[in-house]
Amino acid sequence: MSDNTVSGESILRIRGLTKRFGGLVAVSNVSLDLHVGEVHVVIGPNGAGKTTLTNLLSGDLPPTSGEVMFEDRNIAGCTSDHISRLGIGRSYQKTNIFLPFTVFENCRLAAQSRTPHALRVFQPAEGYAEINRRAEEAMAAAGLSHRAGRVAATLSHGEQRQLEIAMCLATQPRVLLLDEPLAGMGPHESQRMVELIKKLTADHAIMLIEHDMDAVFALAHRLTVMVNGEVLESGTPAEVRSSPAVQLAYLGGEELLHD
Amino acid sequence: MNSRLQQFLPWFVLGLLALFPLVESTFYMQLLTKMLIMGIFAMSLDLLVGYTGLVSFGHAAYFGLAGYALALMTPKYEAVSLWWSLPAAIGVCALFALITGMLVLRTRGIYFIMVTLAFAQMLFFVFHDTKLGGGSDGAYIYVKPALKLGDFDLANLEKPEQFYWLALFLMAATYLLLHRVLGSSFGRALLGIKVNEHRMRALGFPVFRYQLASFTLSGALAGIAGYLAAVQYGFVNPEILSWHQSGAVLMMVILGGMGTLYGSVIGACVFVLLQEVLSNQAWFGVAAKHWQLAMGIFIILVALYLPQGLAGLAQKFRSKPVTEVADE
């Protein structure tokens, strides 16, 4: 059911991914593919296992079984720092930044993670032009350049969400796992975030978890619906929209997926 | 103007301290030497507590180990060369920190505190219950290390003022080293780990390796302090490895203000000075015996009213003129 639209050049192939917490199966036999140039949106009611799925892919949690193939390597069970260095970046549903640091330092630190300068312990941290440039690019991409000197704790909620994405971008990932980037944002900020994700689609493979249906249909190339840890339906937005199973189980007859 | 003052103040203080032996008595010089040594010790712990977010309750292990290393390296009636005995003592501490670090860094929070304490206690009983370092009686270092360049005596450490200068030099060197290291990418990564370890990992930092490097450096620097303390007293016993010692240095860091380096030195100085004053029987009579009680009250007051330690007090005074200028 889920594999019929998959072409050959997927960058991340997930097969039979399962996570059990004791008796609870949070993620059950999930298979999906991510492609560069595509946004794969995962939707589903609260508790469907979307964030757990993200945690399994980013290494925050080890899967119970199944495989995650990243460029012909199984990375299931690798540590999160290892997976990040391979080129898979993630943002968090709950803002997860360095609150006492400035916006620039948050991004600089993220960019620093890509260059092993740790041994040069007598060089001032700000002395690397390449790292500074990447940090500035990431801030510019997320629309935060004008806040560079501000302490992260003093930013608005929406700006903190933007910083979350900027830090992720500063690590120059090829796969982006975005866990509800629009959560708690105003309409104006949401619109900007949607534009940013659209722009990033060109050279990234993106998995997006989102509740905002306007954003979902503005961005999705592929759509996967999860219920109770399982994939209920997966395909193009049009296919999913017309699926009777989705209409029944997830939408309960509501008019969420109308044009 | 203010930032220039900030730049020159440490050098000014350092200059004053260097001139101290010219005007004062041996007693105060030795007290000041002790403060400087404890300053090194406290700074080494601040690297862990204030900059890496690891609260160690077993830091005396490295301090004491270096002291015992010197005692064991010193021949009975001869001086050992400082040129190799100091690096050797530091090396032993670094190695011990590297090995214990690999184990203790698998724990966090309260467990980390307990496991570091456990390792220090193990070392305490190794020296307390075996003949290795003279058991519970300890061991004497009859001859202080020699600091020679060829046949020329660079310094005679038997003379209090020359030993004082050595301690002052090593304290300044430790401060400068840590200041540089903490301003580097490595130092920034440590701070990041302290603030949000989980996010550092998600950004791709091998957190364990950074923590282990910090733990090892911290142990090595504590070794400098332990070596100097053993030279100063000419004597080591298991007490220098005890949890009281680990607690004292932790109090110095908290008293001074975590994560500031110079605060640790201030904390160490105030702690040593208070200990000296409060236990002075001529001034406090019977109460002098219970100096820990007064010390405890003082530390509670600082914790209540100066949560950022004595360094926080300095920052309060410093920020005043800035706001006044801004108001004009």
**Which CATH number goes with the domain that contains B45?**
1.10.3470
Q: Are residues A14 and A114 in the same domain?
A: no
Domain boundary among A152, A172, A192: A172
Partner B contacted by A118 (CB < 8 A): yes
Total domain count, chain A: 2
Q: Are residues A168 and A183 in the same domain?
A: no
pLDDT of the residue at B328: 30
Q: Are residues A164 and A201 in the same domain?
A: no
pLDDT of the residue at A255: 46
Residues of A in contact with B220 (CB under 8 A): none
What strands lie across the sheet with A39-43, from one edge to the other?
A: A88-91, A175-179, A205-209, A39-43, A222-227, A230-235
Domain boundary among A172, A198, A231: A172
Domain boundary among A172, A193, A219: A172
Q: Are residues A215 and A250 in the same domain?
A: yes
B245 is written with which tokens?
């010692």
Domain-located, residue A225: yes
**Residue B228: pLDDT above 50?**
yes
**Residue A23: pLDDT above 80?**
yes
Sequential DSSP letters for A59-80: TSS--SEEEEEETTEE-TT--H
CA-nearest residue of chain B to A118?
B186
Task: Report the residue from A60, A92, A117 with minimal CB separation from B185.
Answer: A117
Residues of B in contact with A112 (CB under 8 A): 185, 188-189
Domain-located, residue A92: no
Instruction: Kindly indicate the confidence band of residue A4, based on its pLDDT and cuts at 50, 70 and 90.
Output: very low
Q: Are residues A38 and A159 in the same domain?
A: no
Q: Say yes or no for a CB contact (<8 Å) between B196 and A98.
A: yes
Q: Are residues A253 and A190 in the same domain?
A: yes
Q: Are residues A116 and A76 in the same domain?
A: no
Q: Are residues A115 and A229 in the same domain?
A: no
Q: Are residues A150 and A77 in the same domain?
A: no
Q: Are strands A175-179 and A73-74 parallel, antiparallel or unpaired?
A: unpaired
pLDDT of the residue at B126: 94
Partner A contacted by B212 (CB < 8 A): no
Q: Are residues A27 and A49 in the same domain?
A: yes
Q: What is the CATH number of the domain that holds A230?
A: 3.40.50.300
Average pLDDT for chain B: 90
Q: Which domain holds residue A217?
A: 1-87+173-259
pLDDT of the residue at B2: 62
A184 or A36, greater pLDDT: A36
Q: Say yes or no for a CB contact (<8 Å) between B189 and A118.
A: yes
Q: Are residues A2 and A43 in the same domain?
A: yes
Partner B contacted by A153 (CB < 8 A): no
ipTM for the whole predicted complex goes beyond 0.95: no
The number of helix segments (H) and strand segments (E) in chain A equals 9, 10
Q: Are residues A138 and A165 in the same domain?
A: yes
pLDDT of the residue at B95: 98
Q: Which domain holds residue B264?
A: 2-327
The alpha-carbon gap from B140 to the nearest alpha carbon of chain A, in Å, equals 38
Domain-located, residue A73: yes
pLDDT of the residue at A7: 47
Sequential DSSP letters for B90-131: HHHHHHHHHHHHHHHTTS-HHHHHHHHHHHHHHHHHHHHHST
Q: Are strands A205-209 and A39-43 parallel, antiparallel or unpaired?
A: parallel
CA-nearest residue of chain A to B177?
A122
Total domain count, chain B: 1
Instruction: Kindly indicate the confidence band of residue B313, based on its pLDDT and cuts at 50, 70 and 90.
Output: confident
